[in-house]
Structure 1
C-alpha cells in the first residue's frame, strides 16, 4: 500500500511537469520506488539532517540529477526540525 501511494504521488507530479523529487526517509523503503541517495553537495536539504543517508532524490525525466544551486524547501507540515 505504501509503495503504491508513493508511486501514485510521483505520477501526479510527473503530470504537473515536475522534473525532480526529493524525500527524507529510509533508503531501503524509498529505493523500491526509484529513489537514490543524494549528497548535500548536489542538492542541499531544507533543514539539518540527523541521518544524511536518508536524503534521497529521483529524476522524473530519467536524466542524471545535476547539482542544484540555491535553497530547497519542503511542504509546511514537514518543515520542522524534529522530523529531520
Structure 2
C-alpha cells in the first residue's frame, strides 16, 4: 500500500467517525471512496443498480483504489444501504 493510500484511509476513518455507516460486509470498501470525498458525499447518494454501477465505474476510471474484483461487493453494499427507493 502506498503512503498516499495509507494517509487517505486514515483520513477516511476519521471522517467516518462523524457519519456512521453500517458495518456490514463491504463497509470497508466505502472507505476507499472517501479518499477523494467525504463519507457524507459518498452516502448521501441514492441510486438503483445501474446508477451505482455507473458511479463505481466512473470512480474506478478516475483512479479510485477499487480493484475490479471488489466492485460487486461494494455495489451490493451500496444497494443494501443507499438504494433509491424508486430504483433509479
User: Quick check: TM above 0.5?
Assistant: no
From the two aligned structures, give the one with the greater strand fraction.
Answer: 1
